[in-house]
Structure 1
Amino acid sequence: MGRSENPLDPTAGPVQRFAHALRVLRREAGSPTYREMARRADYSAPTLSGAAAGERMPSLPVALAYVAACGGDPEEWEARWQALAQEASALSVAGDEDKPAPYRGLARFGTEDGDLFFGRDQLVADLVELTRKERFVALVGASGSGKSSLLRAGLVPALHDLDAADGRPAAIRICAPGPTPLTTHGALLTPVDADGDTVLVVDQFEEIFTLCQNPLERAEFIRGLLRARSNDPGDSGDFDRSGDTGATDTSSACDSRLRVVIAVRADFYGRCAEHHELVEALNAATLLVGPMAPEQVRETIVGPAAAGRLVVERALTARILSDVAQEPGALPLMSHALLELWRRRKGRTLTLEAYDAIGGMQGAVGHTAEEVFAGFTPAQTELARAMLLRLITPGDGAPDTRRPADRAELVRSAEAETVLEALVRARLLTVDGTGVDLTHEALITAWPRLRAWVDSGRERLRLQRRLTESAREWEQLDRDPGALYRGARLLAARAAFMEADSTAADLTPIEREFLVTSIRSGRFVQPALVLTRRFVRSRWWLVFRLALLCWAVIWTVWFLNRDHP
């Protein structure tokens, strides 16, 4: 089996040297998957894989668990760990090796990353003030403008830091709609029973349109969010609602203690116009996230570096500023490039030389991804392709978007688990519980291999997305025969996934069963009938009818005048 971990330079320092030795031990043990190793140890697969990532020195218990899972000698490795730990502490950059990276790469900033979130002070202040004044607030910006990070590392910590007198909320909740927003997140619409308001932050609101296929559930979830505006007395908007008056019923009084902040991609802003009440709310309170000024971009580069006791070459800062100015939605690409520079730092310095080596801001993502793929076997590459494409919803007149999926939908073998682990370690994918997602949508456009896969199989990908939803609905309806495919839809799915020149290997068991059952049900519309229906609906049917009418008129005139020369 090919190596699927990012390459390490064992001469780069004691942490990298120890991680490299762990990897060698694992290879000598037959390269067990981290999932298999987790079953032999008391630690999770991500924790064990992190021990050999080379980013920080693992704790001694984790290191020994890794060694035990690979059949190594605990005493020998404990002595090795102690020696390398002492070496790391004796270096001039003592303590730096144990610190996490100050950059987040393609991953969004979390609520715990406020001390590394730079360049957005004024926008955070504006968002906090608007949230205090309005009960429904929309944050709108292009993909890659940093909306998710602004909510989590900007707004949430700022609200927590408010004094009680200034209206610190009683609770803050965060969610993304997903395919079933009301079913999954309906309980979040009820404020907590405590003094102060509950703030519900809905990130990636566009999933309402890209993932939720049920228009009734979509409308009901939006209606639930808009109840935050119900019975709003129109006062100063402070979080302390003790002065509210005029509530006519218990439901309205409860609703008035909810505040909602949504983040929506700018290219989906027009879709919000499909809901009249949502339009009113957006018109009342929308904050637009624009591109960062050069000085703000500079802060995002040097601020985290200073927090991590790093130095950024001036020439590097100037080059990144120039590249960002020419690239819309460049923040995730810049952040990933900075993370790669941190991994390739010389001592404490991030260098322009390393930036050029990874292909600059645009090339860094592809560089990282291709390093992973270089270690895959052909079979693993095919598994990775199918896995990545399942995490994308192809746009229909709009940009492609990411699609979170359940782990069980992606991983159906030990080798698929190995591929997933490699992609997660490279921070191309993120795992949250049982859910898996692309780290950022920028990956779709910035990685040429993935972009080519999507473009070359776009129509098949659309068919697969519809098949996934239909199979899920069929299962939820206790396999109701009425939910099976029929007619032209069945013909298209069979041609794409079941014919001789196609493959059903990338279908899940339930999708394959749904399609096979649909085929066996024999609910086809004959191709000739399909063509006839398409012809009747086309403009040529009108032309044919006009020609037939002209012929009838000519024949009638001839018939009436044939005996009158």
Structure 2
Amino acid sequence: MQVLVSLKFGDGDFTNGFPEISIFTSKVGSQHSQEIEIQLPPAPEIRKSYQNWQKKYINLFKNLGIRILIPRSVATSLDLEHENITRGFNKNIATNWSPEKQKQEFEKSKQECDSEALLQKAERYASELRTEVNQWLEKVKSKLEARLELDPNSQILLEIHTQNITLQQTKDILHRLPWREWDYFQECSGLEVILCLSESNSPAPKVKDDGIFRRVRITSIFGDSKDINVKRDKELIAKLEKRGAELINLEQPQRQDFSKLWDEPCNILFYSGHSETFEDGTVGSLQINSTDNLSLQEIRNTLGEAVKKGLKLAIFNSCDGLGLAKQLADLHLPYIIVWREPVPDKTAIGFIEYFLSSYAQGESLFTSVRNARLKLVELTSQEEREKQIPGLNWLPIICKNTSVPPPTWKDLGGLTGKLPHSPYKGLSAFQEEDAEYFFGREKFIADLFEAAKSKPLVPVVGASGSGKSSVVFAGLVPRLREDGIQIVSFRPGNNPFDALAVALSSHIQSVIGTQESNPNPPVIGTRGNNLNPPVIGIRGNNSNTTVIGTKGNNLNPPVIANQQSNPNPSVIATQGSNPQPLETSNECAIPTQINLLHDKQALCRLIENIVASSEIPPKSSTNASQSCRDVACNVSTGDDNSVAGMYKGQTSSQRFILIADQFEELYTLTPESQQQPFLNLLLHAVKSAPNFSLVLTLRADFYGHAISNRDFSDLLQQGIYNSSPMNQSELRAAIEQPAAKMKVELEPGLTDKLIDELGNQAGSLPLLEFTLFQLWEKHDKWYLNHQAYKEIGGLKQALAKYADSILSPLSARNKEKAERIFIQLVSPGEGTEDTKRKATRAEVGKENWDWVEFFANQRLLVTGWDETTQEKTVEIIHEALIREWGMLREWIKSNRQFRVWQERLQFTVVKWEDKGRDSEYLLSGGNLGEAEGWFNDEKYREYLSDSQSKFIRESLQERDRKEQEKVSQQQEKTRLQKRAIKWLSGGLLAASLATGFAGWNWVEAKTSAIASEINSLSTRSEYLFGLKNYEDALIEAIKGNELLAKSWWRTRIPTDTQQQIKIALHNAIHDSVELEQHTLTGHQDWVYQVGFSPDGKTIASASGDKTVKLWSTNGKLLHTLTGHQNSVYHVGFSPDGKTIASASWDKTVKLWNWDFDNLLTRGCNRLEGYLVSYPDKLEELKVCQTPQVLAAVASNFIRQGEDLAKNGDFEDAVEKFRQAKKWNPKLDFNPESKAKAISLKEEGRSKK
């Protein structure tokens, strides 16, 4: 329990007494408080007793061998060596005595050489002071005892309020009295005294919490250190970094250095050094360096600003700081800790060590000061205790200037403080703005820098995940910028000409538009994996480099066209002004694109123009748009009207760098028809453009594609820069140094563990960065630790575990949406690894875009903007996700054939659109049948883009149109026949025939539709069979045969169609792997009869469970015939073995076409193992859903659930058990209880 006792003095003094004193008592948490009015008598002896003790206290320093500053004049007259170990000034001793008085007292003390006698005298004076104070307060004590019952275990806060006292000397004595010696509190060990110098009832100013920095910010001033151990104080403060402190140190500062208090908010101000309080006790000053002392009054406004910004506590570990505290009281600095007298250096160090240790571990301010005082007295050696000056523990005091409770270390952000933004990038590439956190590649960057300044081609080749983009954008680009080199970057994407044209056009416009106000060249383009549009930064009339590139996840495109044609203009980020929309002309982008596409020399001339125009400012009368046309639109002329021609004969030293990031996109996303022309364009510039370098990043597994072009291969042979795996010292730098810049540490051994687990695996840097990013999120008191590393699954499992944690809580329907999104973002590899691809909003489905943004917010996807199509785009954040996330790999595997077909379809769609949607380029024949099969699949129809769906629909309509022509011809023929019949036979006969013909036509149309669908399934099955995808081929064949079996018009379906689907089923069965099982059980009731087929290969059994089961002779269950409503008591085969007859107590006999069903059954049997593993496929095939298969699926889910439960994944385990019950409703258990029981059992084993 905390008890507050407040003594509020009215005006008075020790000579005349204090006629008005109010005492307030209250208990924390209670609304009830008591007030006592009382008077205190005159007590002039108290002032004298304090001065007596004070004199002996000073004398004892020298005689006990404790070094203390003595004023030079006194030291000379007493023939004493001038020494200093107190934290007072070099000029004055920090007391309220005159120099003459001090001299007299020291002369007396010189004669008293017996240290023991001096200690006894000091103790006597201290005892006298205690006695007189207690006698003086006796009346207060009696009043309090009657009103307030104290608990010895309570924390007592005694507040002394002196604001109403006029005489400063009286105030000063009251502030220095040993209030802790009051015998009213002698049984209370938890007493602490607070001096209330002023009090503000207004709430403490709120410090802006931006949700990022939550560290305890400490500004430390280490003043003049002559003869005192300021270094030790600094070491003690430095230890607080491990408790979440952010430190700003001012060592022997000059006055101007105190601007940091104004500019950089802090929570705690700490001073170590010499200080002084002047004689009236109201003014203090600091010896900030060896030559200058500073009164706090001189920096009053600076300190006031610091208080407004969150300064809560000031600690002055220096002599006699009451004057300092009184000066700060007017500024309402909430809490201040000072020494009330000169203090030995060792004592000051011990106190601050004990205090900081207690406070930083979460104790309250009051408790921490009390603990430090008590430890200072008790935790000393016998020798030191014998020399301990009586009254020393009185001296540290808390001064209070607020009604708000003091903050704890946790309140200020320590212990549970939130780390600032992560210096690790997860799966994102490092960008130019991340350069200060990019470590470990210094030598490689230096090599690239030298190459980029001298070589025309700088290919950076490495495995996916080797850090190619990061080393270019966070390493190379900043170095190039320092040399004023112009840089443009782009990614090829699905239209490299457009991508390059947009980047160059924006650059040209920027150079001309900002040239007069900004002499440095801009850097533009996308950076690494960031696909966002350029944000053009204008910085007014200064010399800073304009950066034109992607920033953040802004999806608004820059305005290449005029603003009216684009409702989403980009924003010009200006420093010192409000953002304004950028409006530029579109007359650059389109002509540049046309020139680049049709003239391989265009890029070379354009580079010449850019370099020339950047060196020589255009005439002031030249319009920016016109200048842009001069540079971009006239590149094909090469005459004197072009910009290059305008500056003919002038040599340029300016260099131009073009960065083609992720160059493998030229081979994975770009249509083949554009690949060679674009490569020719670049190669010509590399060979011919002056002062030009092409820097490209290329995945190593696409190097074969690159060298397949002889010219490109020859250039590559001149020097490749391999992004090789980092060695151990480089990895250590990449791991530790970004954290060190944020003043965060890794626990001992964690770096070594990361490096060991990383091994020499190529392309594993994204896993390392992602793991570090996850560790940052799970920090513990500013440490990245082993426990968090274990929780995230270690380096090998961190990414997959994180991705699963995002996906797992989603519903089944939303997981299907996720599947659709993610598979559209992967390009299936053919001889290479699967690669990520950029998809438009239309391709992933506009209705799914909210989920795209959800996954982007979870850092699995990256959204952007396509300048050429003016569409939002999305891509997987890094290909490491494809390699490491098991669920994504499973999605890719199960949808691979569709994606291979869809990628091929897309090229056909593009060609159709390029040809003006001519019907000549629509699908037909087997290709149309394959497309129709996918289109008729409800799942995959949703995966098609609008343009793909439209293309297939128009292809089908064109086919139907042609078929309709045939039908129309047949109808015309029928019409003529009807006329003839009517003419020959009369009305009634004609009407009958007409009705017959109408029905006949309906049947023909229906039969044609079914036959068409069966043909499509046959074609798809054969196509998949050719790709050796036997499981999917068999599934499509079963679908077709099932459709044929259910058709009423089966006999009218063309024989070749029936044969085609049966052959497809036969091929898929006999060329797939047979999985044989032996079983003789399966019926749920009595078996009444069994019979063999004529060929002796099949057994039929009739049962009371209302089914007929068909078995192979080795006991394998082939099929279950269901349909009877009661027990089946008889079964038999026809002589040819193609038909089975069954008799039931439901009064029916059923005939079954065994030859056909047997084929279906065998197909299902072949797929049994596959369907058990892929229950989503089983859902599509009702004919294959036998009890045996359903039970196997359920068992599979149960095994998965048990494994998850053992690993502690409770929610996932419950979901698996629910799936098991869905597939086999006969299972009798509670999913939650089952998962819990397994988890508890596993916990019990681990404890053993």
Q: TM-score surpassing 0.5? A: yes
Contact in 1 for aligned 2:852/2:874 (Cα 8 Å):
no
Q: Which residue of 2 aligns with 1:90?
A: 412
**Mapping of residues 264-279 of structure 1, within 5 Å:** 264-279=698-713
Q: Deviations over 1:417-443 (max 9, x none)?
A: 331122111111011232211110010
Counterpart residue number, 1:309: 743
Which of the numbers 880, 905, 920 marks the counterpart of 1:482?
A: 920
Q: Report the equivalent of 1:112.
A: 433
Matches within 5 A, 1:32-431: 90-92=412-414, 97=418, 99-162=420-483, 168-169=484-485, 171-186=486-501, 188=504, 189=603, 190-191=606-607, 192=610, 193-195=613-615, 196-215=654-673, 217-231=674-688, 255-413=689-847, 416-431=848-863
State the SS of the aligned residue for 1:139.
strand
Match of 2:885 in 1: 447
How many angstroms apart in 2 are the aligned matches of 1:530 and 1:426?
41
Q: Quick check: 1:145–1:330 contact (8 Å CA) kept in 2?
A: yes
- Structure 2 letter corresponding to 1:142: A
Q: Percent identity?
A: 30
Q: Are the structure 2 counterparts of residues 89 and 282 from structure 1 closer, same or farther at C-alpha, using a change threshold of 3 Å?
A: farther
Deviation at 1:367, TM superposition (A): 1.5
Secondary structure of the corresponding residue to residue 386 of structure 1: helix
Q: 1:514 corresponds to which residue?
A: 951
For residues 917 and 409 of structure 2, the distance between their equivalents in structure 1, rounded to whole angstroms, comes to: 63
TM-score, scaled to structure 2: 0.32
Ranked by relative contact order (alpha carbons within 8 Å, sequence separation 6 or more), the top structure is: 1
Q: Judging changes above 3 Å, is the alpha-carbon distance between structure 1 residues 471 and 306 closer, same or farther for their aligned structure 2 residues?
A: same
Q: Is the 8 A contact 1:140 1:287 kept in 2?
A: yes
Q: For 1:333-354, what per-residue CA distance to the aligned partner results, in whole angstroms no more than 9, with x for missing partners? A: 1100110110011020001111
Q: Cα distance, 1:303 vs. partner? A: 1.0
Listed as ranges, the matches of 1:449-468 within 5 Å are 449-468=887-906
- Pair 1:505-2:942 in alignment: yes
Q: Displacement, 1:226?
A: 1.4
Aligned pair in 2 of structure 1 residues 89, 133: CA closer, same or farther (>3 Å)?
A: farther
Shift of 1:98: 7.1
Equivalent position SS for 2:432 = coil
Task: Provide closer, same or farther for how the CA distance between residues 333 and 211 of structure 1 changes in structure 2, counting only shifts above 3 A.
Answer: same
Q: What do residues 49-104 of structure 1 show as CA deviations (whole Å, max 9, x unaligned)?
A: xxxxxxxxxxxxxxxxxxxxxxxxxxxxxxxxxxxxx999821389x747321110
Any conservation in 1 of the 2:799–2:885 contact (CA below 8 Å)? yes
Deviation at 1:15, TM superposition (A): 4.5
d(CA) in 1 for partners of 2:780 and 2:449? 40
1:14 Cα offset (Å): 10
Q: Is the 8 A contact 1:134 1:285 kept in 2?
A: no
More divergent stretch after superposition (516-525 vs 218-227): 516-525
Distance in structure 2 (CA, Å) of the matches to 1:89 and 1:276? 67
Q: Which has the higher helix share?
A: 1
- Counterpart amino acid of residue 114 in structure 1: A
Cα distance between partner residues in 1 of 2:413 and 2:1019 = 75
Contact 2:430 2:469 in 1 (8 A): yes
Give CA deviations for 1:150-201 in whole Å, capped at 9, x if unaligned: 1110111111123xxxxx41x2111110011013314634322323122110
Shift in alpha-carbon separation, 1:93–1:227, aligned structure 2, 3 A: farther
The 8 Å contact of residues 301 and 317 in structure 1, kept in 2 or not, is answered as: yes
Q: Does 1:469 align with 2:901?
A: no
Q: Distance in 2 between matches of 1:361 and 1:14?
A: 31
The answer (yes or no) to whether the contact 1:130–1:285 under 8 Å persists in 2 is: no
Cα displacement string for residues 204-250 of structure 1 (whole angstroms, at most 9, x for unaligned residues): 111111001233x211211121123334xxxxxxxxxxxxxxxxxxx
Distance 1:530 1:504 in 2: 18
Indicate how the Cα distance of structure 1 residues 87 and 352 shifts in structure 2: closer, same or farther if over 3 A, else same: closer
CA contact under 8 A between 2:662 and 2:698: conserved in structure 1? yes
State the secondary structure of the residue aligned to 1:256: coil
Once residues 940 and 708 of structure 2 are traced to their aligned partners in structure 1, the CA distance between those partners, rounded to angstroms, is 38
Code of the aligned partner of 2:614: A
Does the 8 Å CA contact 2:426/2:770 hold for their aligned counterparts? yes
Contact 1:88 1:97 in 2 (8 A): no
Alignment deviations for residues 252-309 of structure 1 (CA, whole Å, 9 cap, x no partner): xxx3243211111111001112222111110112111111101111111101111121
8 A contact 1:15–1:88 mirrored in 2: no
RMSD: 3.0
Shift of 1:366: 1.2
SS in 2 for 1:172: strand
Structure having the larger proportion of residues in strand: 2
Given that 2:845 and 2:945 are in contact with CA atoms closer than 8 Å, whether structure 1 keeps it comes out as no
CA contact (8 A) 1:182 1:218 kept: no
Q: Distance in 1 between matches of 2:692 and 2:922?
A: 41
Q: Which has the larger radius of gyration?
A: 2
1:533-544 matches, within 5 Å, as: none
Maintained 8 Å contact 2:655/2:691: yes
Distance in 2 separating the partners of 1:497 and 1:465: 15
Kindly state the Cα deviation for residue 388 of structure 1 after the two structures are TM-superposed: 0.6
Distance in 2, Cα, partners of 1:470 & 1:110: 37
- For 2:413, give the aligned amino acid: L
Whole-Å separation in 1 of the counterparts to 2:747 and 2:877: 28
In structure 2, what is the Cα distance between the partners aligned to 1:499 and 1:380? 19
SS at 2:766's partner residue?
helix
1:357: Cα distance to partner?
Answer: 1.0
- 2-side partners of 1:385 and 1:489: how far apart? 26
Q: Shift in Å at residue 513 of structure 1?
A: 1.2
Offset of 1:480 from its aligned partner? 2.0
Structure 1 contact 142–266 (Cα < 8 Å) conserved: yes
- Distance, in Å, in 1 between the alignment partners of 2:210 and 2:690 is 57
- The total of aligned residue pairs comes to 421
Deviation at 1:485, TM superposition (A): 1.9
Matching residue of 2:929: 491
How big is the shift at 1:499? 4.5
CA contact (8 A) 1:394 1:400 kept: yes
- What is the CA–CA distance in structure 1 between the aligned matches of 2:657 and 2:490, rounded to whole Å? 11
Residues 422 and 773 of structure 2 are in contact (CA less than 8 Å); yes or no, is this contact kept in structure 1? yes
Q: 1:79 is matched with which residue?
A: none
